[in-house]
Amino acid sequence: MADTLYFSRDTKVYVEIGSDVWEIPVLDGFSFSQATNTSEITLNEMADSAGNSRRARQMFTDSYAPAEWSFSTYVRPFVSAGTGAGAADDAANHHAVEEVLWALMAGAATYASNTFTGFTADTTDLNIDFDSSNKVTLGTANIYFVMGGAGTGTKTTYKIEGCVVNEASIDFDIDGIATIAWSGMGKIITEASEPTATVYEAVSSTSNFIRNRLTTIAISSTSPTSTTYDLVLTGGNIAISNNLTFLTPETLGVVNQPLGHVTGTRSVSGSFTCYLNAETDSSADLFENIIEGTSTITNAFDLAFKIGGSSGTPRLEFATANCHLEVPTHSIDDVISVETNFHALPSTISETDEVVITYVGA
């Protein structure tokens, strides 16, 4: 029988960029894997003079598929203490425990002077834009999954090399704590030594969690009508995707490994739900204005989600200034509600301003 067992609860996750290593607390349900691409060779022949026919097969490993990984984190903004071991900054600026993952999602992921490319961290908030994301390739990192520890005393560390973040998804579970589901790919999984975290401020804090029930939405439109709507959410989600593709050579006689990634179309989309009500500028008016705007090919709505409240701390904000909304669909329950799908678009085809993300620490 096995003497050493590993429990998922003991697992730690680290993200390494250059000489800096972030500790990332993750939720149960994380995964990572890598498959192989194979070729099967068979024969299809008639019988010989003795009535025999060869029926065996041969199997060849052509290449490794890209490693795939996924995990969820809580949304955890904080204000840096500015000093001490593992501090995220040398000043009292706003940061997030999971901000390194946004750096990978949003572009170059270059870390210098206590901030990432495309980030603006100051004493008011942390702003994240996608100005560095119009690239053929994005920033990469090494992700470590350290198994074991407290329950066994023995650890096994798996390293996924050359990782990229492909998608981040935020669901508004009304009774839950704000979480982000991350997924991506990497080159190859190997065993390695456990890294030493250099940035781990606020990972043990209990004051930087956000309750989804406090979430608000501000919505206004310029087309098909100029209206500011008064809606109260019952749920929703936002998904940001880089639509990445990994490239692998096909050389004969060797087991090929993935070379790296290329970016696809950047996509920011989601949905929100609310009760159907008939007050002025309510969800009923939203449905009416969209479905009657038959001459509007692309409508224009400004959506601002504030997870954690409109002015409370901590909170996370998503500002999408140019959204195309689909016609809301009705859900017939005890209380009738409507669900509206949206697509955040840039101001022009070459811009990167689909969404601006803002963290405000407690």
* pLDDT confidence band for 110 (50 / 70 / 90): confident
* pLDDT confidence band for 111 (50 / 70 / 90): confident
In the chain, what are the helix, strand and coil shares in percent, each to the nearest 5? 5, 45, 50
Give the pLDDT score at 108. Answer: 78
Give the pLDDT score at 316. Answer: 97
* pLDDT confidence band for 290 (50 / 70 / 90): very high
Q: Contact, 13 vs 30, CB < 8 A?
A: yes
Mean pLDDT, residues 235-263? 95
End-to-end CA distance of the chain: 49
Question: Could you report the per-residue pLDDT of 340-357, keeping only the tens digit for each?
Answer: 999 999 999 999 999 999
pLDDT at 172 over 90: no
**Predicted TM-score (pTM) above 0.85:** yes
Give the pLDDT score at 20. Answer: 94
pLDDT at 220 over 70: yes
Question: Could you report the per-residue pLDDT of 47-62, keeping only the tens digit for each?
Answer: 999 999 999 999 999 9
Give the pLDDT score at 152. Answer: 57
Give the pLDDT score at 35. Answer: 96
Q: How far apart are CA 46 and CA 55, in angstroms?
A: 10
Cα torsion through 99, 103, 106, 110, rounded to 10: 150
Give the pLDDT score at 118. Answer: 87
Question: Could you report the per-residue pLDDT of 29-41, keeping only the tens digit for each?
Answer: 999 999 999 999 9
Share the mean pLDDT of the chain. 94
Give the pLDDT score at 179. Answer: 97
pLDDT at 151 over 60: no
pLDDT at 153 over 80: no
Cα torsion through 140, 8, 212, 270, rounded to 10: 50
Q: Contact, 25 vs 159, CB < 8 A?
A: no
User: How is 228-267 classified by DSSP, letter by letter?
Assistant: EE---EEEEEEEEE---EEE----TTS-B---EEE----E
Q: Contact, 5 vs 145, CB < 8 A?
A: no
- Among 146-160, 220-234, 258-272, which is the least confidently predicted range? 146-160
Give the pLDDT score at 2. Answer: 58
Mean pLDDT, residues 245-257? 94
* pLDDT confidence band for 154 (50 / 70 / 90): confident
Collapse the DSSP code of 214 into the 3-class scheme (helix H, G, I; strand E, B; otherwise coil) and give the result.
helix
Q: How far apart are CA 268 and CA 352, in angstroms?
A: 11
Whole-number Cα distances in Å, 190 to 33, 71, 116, 193, 322: 11, 19, 27, 10, 43
Classify residue 308 by burial, with Cβ atoms within 10 Å: 0-12, 13-18, 19+: buried
Give the pLDDT score at 1. Answer: 55
* pLDDT confidence band for 234 (50 / 70 / 90): very high
Q: How far apart are CA 25 and CA 14, in angstroms?
A: 9
Alpha carbon 277 to its chain centroid, in Å, reads: 33
At 166, the amino acid letter reads N
* pLDDT confidence band for 4 (50 / 70 / 90): confident
Residues 6+ apart with CB under 8 A from 332: none
In the block, which residue shows the tokens 């090929």? 256
Mean pLDDT, residues 223-233? 95
pLDDT at 308 over 60: yes
pLDDT at 184 over 90: yes
